[in-house]
Structure 1
Amino acid sequence: MGEWMTLWFMSIALGMDAFSIGLGMGMLSLRIKQIMKIGITIGLFHMLMPLGGMTIGKEISVHFGGIAGVVGGILLVILGVTMIRSSFSKDDEPFVRPVGFGLLVFALSASLDSFSVGLSLGIYGAKTWLTIFMFGMMSMLLTWCGLMMGKKVQKWLGSYSEALGGCILLAFGVKILFPF
């Protein structure tokens, strides 16, 4: 029971970054079908990344754990800056869209920290399938919540919503790069 509760809290903590990123991206004009696809993709990445981390194990965790966080932070900063720049351009189409390659970059940036967590959990011998299932489900649900809340905020803010979404992603990326 103790391990289950620990994994539950860890899955919520890892899913909260997906929620925050989803909140920022939800301020783009997205259809429900896109929101569902984004949530599922983020959930899958939050299953694959810790599975990869758990599989690789202790040898790389010391060297690669910090790099994964830095890469994730840089990706979020880039996404945030491009969204802010796009909001001031004359085009109605945003620069970053969570479809195709953009969706993969979005999902990767949201789930890189779960790779490091997977490395740590692999060292301690956590139950692999329970862990990745909980991480995937919680991040998918929290992504959907963030996207839906962002969609509501987008309706209130209109054209300023993409800039606000970019600021959220930028701030989250900076927080990952410079934790204080």
Structure 2
Amino acid sequence: MSVWELFILAVGLSMDAFAVSVCKGLSVKALKPKHMLIAGLYFGGFQALMPLIGYLLGVQFQSLIQEFDHWIAFVLLVLIGLSMIRESRECPDELNDSFSFKTMLPLAVATSIDALAVGVTFAFLKVSIVPAVSFIGVTTFILSAAGIRIGNIFGAKYKSRAELIGGLVLILMGVKILLEHLGVFDWFLSLFA
């Protein structure tokens, strides 16, 4: 997986956290830098941790499903993408202005569950996991911190668009992985050789 593909995937994965951060930013009356830092650490940390866990699980089963792993990666990414698109119309009502552990932990886990499945696909694709999870964590940290600020300034205008775009990106990445493993790209390029 190239750096460019990893960046696109990281942005796509972080859109859930970005959308929730925008909603959290809506709820904050007096925004402080610590709010942005807390959101970035929770969301970025869990977005890095979950693919690592998924990767470790995927490595255990890699030899058993190696011949159809590209189909699993495709299905997981499409399902996650469709879920994000469906959720793009929602802004959870239960969000409040608290940044306590009790409030942030469930949000961080909920927004990073999809990253767990992506971690499984990383194992099948033999992705270098440490740079990948670091990249995803840093990207999510930045976008979550920005989401708090954007939500505080602009409101919910960008929340649904972010999740919609994130969902589409994940679906397109799944299609790309499938077409690559089926040899469609090689076949297409051979037509022009």
TM-score with structure 1 length normalisation? 0.66
Deviation at 1:16, TM superposition (A): 2.0
Q: Distance in 2 between matches of 1:105 and 1:97?
A: 13
Partner of 1:45: 46
| Partner SS, residue 26 of structure 1 | helix
Partner of 2:94: 82
* CA RMSD in angstroms, aligned pairs only: 3.7
- Where does 1:1-180 land on structure 2 (aligned, <5 Å)? 3-29=2-28, 30-57=31-58, 59=61, 80-83=92-95, 94=96, 97-153=98-154
Q: Distance in 1 between matches of 2:35 and 2:22?
A: 14
In the alignment of these two chains, the number of paired residues is: 150
Moved segments of 4+, more than 2 Å: 58-62, 76-79
Checking the alignment, whether the CA contact within 8 Å between 1:98 and 1:106 is kept in structure 2 is no
| Partner SS, residue 35 of structure 2 | helix
Q: Distance in 2 between matches of 1:26 and 1:81?
A: 13
Partner of 2:184: none
Partner of 1:86: none
Q: Distance in 1 between matches of 2:36 and 2:56?
A: 30
Residue 55 of structure 1 aligns with an amino acid whose one-letter code is L
Deviation at 1:79, TM superposition (A): 7.8
Q: Which has the larger radius of gyration?
A: 2
Checking the alignment, whether the CA contact within 8 Å between 1:18 and 1:143 is kept in structure 2 is yes
Q: Distance in 2 between matches of 1:9 and 1:57?
A: 22
Q: Distance in 2 between matches of 1:79 and 1:49?
A: 23
77 and 45 in structure 1: CA distance in 2 versus 1, 3 angstrom threshold: farther
Q: Distance in 2 between matches of 1:146 and 1:78?
A: 16
Checking the alignment, whether the CA contact within 8 Å between 1:23 and 1:150 is kept in structure 2 is yes
1:27-79, Cα deviation, whole Å (9 max, x unpaired): 111432122111111111011000000110064996xx69x96xx98xx9998
The share of aligned pairs that are identical, in percent, is 20
TM-score with structure 2 length normalisation? 0.62
1:117-159, Cα deviation, whole Å (9 max, x unpaired): 11101111101111001100000101011110111136xxxxx
Q: Distance in 1 between matches of 2:109 and 2:91?
A: 12
Residue 24 of structure 2 aligns with an amino acid whose one-letter code is M
Q: Distance in 2 between matches of 1:129 and 1:53?
A: 13
Q: Distance in 1 between matches of 2:8 and 2:132?
A: 11
Q: Distance in 2 between matches of 1:26 and 1:51?
A: 28
Q: Distance in 2 between matches of 1:98 and 1:119?
A: 30
